[in-house]
Structure 1
Amino acid sequence: MLSATLSQVAVRPFAHPNDLDRKRIERALKSRKRYRYVTPSVTTTIGGYRIESPCCSRNIDRDGGIVDVALLLHDADAVRWQLFRKDHKKGLWQLDSTHDRLPTALERLNADPERMFWQ
């Protein structure tokens, strides 16, 4: 009985991360408003993507090392994107906003009017 129940459970693979969307994010970051003179990197994580960049402002890392900028997670159940920013003092990710589409989340990240991401 238990084995029959377990075999009926549909295991849905993660749609993210994938190479196509990682490349889309990399291309979109080229149109950001802040710190255009550094080259951020996009790495994959379970369910999404992490964006990190050298810290040219020295606000977060006095030595100009690599710092977390944003975390994009895809919520498959709600079919939306969650955009997180890093609270560097606490070392924690904080939910910034949710978006129905990836380009909308990237617009928010690239504009960053309050300097919450590109610090």
Structure 2
Amino acid sequence: MRTFICTVLFIGILSNTIAQNTTDMKDFDPAFAHIVYFWFKDPANVKDKTHFEVSLKKFLSTSKYAKTNFIGTPPKATRDVVDGTFTYSLIVTFESAEAQQSYQEEDVHLVFIEECKHLWDKVLVYDSNGIK
């Protein structure tokens, strides 16, 4: 009986996870990736981090051009080649370089920059075209 209950729970959790992934996620678009690293002036300031996350999530949820996004923080580096000095990272995918350029000029993007630019000391961007 215990095995049956554990199996049913496992199947329920697995199917819920699969359902969330297929309904909540947009498809990753390999055409163009925009990777941004932010270094905050005060990286330990919780209020600054909260303000940044709220503003960034609001912006990304209303962008007409961003297809998928990933917001991250540095993990504890275990290798010398890993740079963990940034405060936040952002990866956004687009269907084309032209869509990414439109995103740069989009009102919601400009509002995000205005709301948060006082928080960062440095921003570094890497843009990449996908290999076909």
TM-score by length of 1: 0.30
Q: When the two structures are superposed, what TM-score results if normalisation uses the length of structure 2?
A: 0.28
Higher helix proportion: 2
Could you say which structure has the greater relative contact order, defined with CA pairs below 8 angstroms and 6 or more residues apart? 2
